[in-house]
C-alpha cells in the first residue's frame, strides 16, 4: 500500500479511537510526522552494525525527534514527561506508528527495526502487550519478528520488576524481538541487585549498554566486580550484546575488547562519509 494511503488509513483509525478533532499524522518531505501539543514529532534512524564487520548494517534504531514550532531544536525528553498516565499508551503507540511508516522505504533491505517502548506504557497495558501494534505491522506488510521492542531498565521502576517482566514476555510470545537497555548511569547496587536478576528471569534477544558504562570503570574493587559480573552474565546467556555510543576509534577498540556482537554510534557514520570509504552492506534476512 502506498505511504500516502497508509497515512490516511491510520489517521482515520487513530482519530476514531482517540476521539481526536484533527488527523494526527501528516506527510512532510516524504516523511511521516505528528503533533503533540506544540511539538512536531518525527523519526531519526541510526544504523546498528555488526561489531566484527561494521560495514554490515544489522538493523536500524528508531529514535523520537520532537521539535519546537518553526525550529530544528530537538526536545524529545519533553514529550513523555508531559504525558499523563492516561495518555502515555496512546502517545507511545503513535510514536511507534510514525517510526514504522518512516521505516517502510528501507524495509526491503532486511534487518531489524529497533523501537523504544516507554516503561510507563508497559506498566500501563495490563495484558496482551504487542497486540495493538501487531496490527500496525501487518498493515505495513511486515511481521513482528523483524521488530525489536527496546525497554529501558532504570532505578525508577525497580519496584515494578514483575510487571515489566510480564510485559516483555508478552512481546516475546507474540514473536517480537526484545531488548533491554540498562541505565549505564545507575549505581552499582542497582546493577547487582536488579539488572542481573532481570536477566536471569528473562533472556532478551539483545542487551544494550552505553560504552560509557565500561569506560568509567571505577578503581573501587566492588564497583569493578559488579560491572564485570554483569558483563559475564550477558555473555553467558543466549543474547546479543549491543554497545552504544561509539564515537571514536578508542571506543571501537573498547567494544571489541568487550566482545560486543553489535555496535552503534556516530563514529561509523563519519567514517563512511570519507571519500575512500566503502559503502555499507545491508543485512539480508534475520
Structural domain boundaries in the chain: 3-274
Architecture of domain 3-274: Alpha-Beta Barrel (3.20)
State which residues of the chain have pLDDT below 70.
69-86, 188, 192, 215-224, 226, 273-286
pLDDT score for 279: 62
Distance from C-alpha of 112 to C-alpha of 146, rounded to nearest angstrom: 5
Q: Which residues contact 92 (CB under 8 A, 6 or more apart)?
A: 80, 117, 118, 120, 121
Residue 279: DSSP 8-state = P
Distance from C-alpha of 29 to C-alpha of 223, rounded to nearest angstrom: 49
DSSP per-residue letters across 22-88:
S-SEEEETTEEEEEETTEEEEEEEEEEEESS-TTEEEEEEEEEEEE-TTS--B-THHHHHH--HHHH
pLDDT score for 71: 59
pLDDT score for 197: 84
Distance from C-alpha of 178 to C-alpha of 239, rounded to nearest angstrom: 10
pLDDT score for 207: 95
pLDDT score for 116: 92
Amino acid at each position: 500500500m502506498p505511504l500516502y494511503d497508509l497515512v490516511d488509513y491510520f489517521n482515520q483509525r487513530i482519530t476514531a479511537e482517540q476521539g481526536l478533532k484533527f488527523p494526527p499524522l501528516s506527510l512532510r518531505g516524504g516523511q511521516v510526522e505528528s503533533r503533540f501539543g506544540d511539538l512536531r514529532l518525527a523519526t531519526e534512524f541510526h544504523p546498528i552494525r555488526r561489531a566484527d564487520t561494521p560495514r554490515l548494517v544489522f538493523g536500524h534504531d528508531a529514535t523520537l525527534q520532537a521539535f519546537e514550532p518553526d525550529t530544528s531544536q530537538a526536545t524529545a525528553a519533553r514529550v513523555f514527561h508531559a504525558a499523563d498516565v492516561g495518555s502515555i499508551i496512546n502517545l507511545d503507540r503513535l510514536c511507534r506508528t510514525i517510526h514504522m511508516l518512516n521505516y517502510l522505504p528501507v524495509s526491503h533491505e532486511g534487518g531489524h527495526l529497533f523501537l523504544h517502548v516507554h516503561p510507563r506504557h508497559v506498566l500501563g497495558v495490563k495484558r496482551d502487550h504487542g497486540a495493538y501494534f501487531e496490527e500496525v505491522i501487518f498493515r505495513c506488510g511486515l511481521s513482528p519478528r523483524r521488530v525489536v521492542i527496546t525497554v529501558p531498565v532504570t532505578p525508577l521502576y525497580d519496584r515494578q520488576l514483575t510487571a515489566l517482566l510480564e510485559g516483555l514476555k508478552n512481546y516475546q510470545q507474540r514473536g517480537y524481538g526484545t531488548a533491554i537497555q540498562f541505565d549505564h548511569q545507575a549505581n552499582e547496587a542497582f546493577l547487582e541487585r536488579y539488572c542481573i536478576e532481570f536477566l536471569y528471569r528473562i533472556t532478551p534477544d539483545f542487551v544494550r549498554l552505553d560504552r560509557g558504562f565500561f569506560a568509567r570503570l571505577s578503581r573501587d574493587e566492588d564497583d569493578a566486580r559488579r560491572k564485570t559480573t554483569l558483563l559475564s552474565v550477558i555473555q553467558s546467556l543466549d543474547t546479543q550484546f549491543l554497545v552504544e555510543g561509539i564515537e571514536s576509534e578508542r571506543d571501537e577498540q573498547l567494544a571489541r575488547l568487550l566482545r560486543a556482537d553489535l555496535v552503534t554510534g556516530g563514529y561509523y557514520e563519519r567514517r563512511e562519509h570519507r571519500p575512500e570509504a566503502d559503502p555499507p552492506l545491508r543485512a539480508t534476512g534475520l
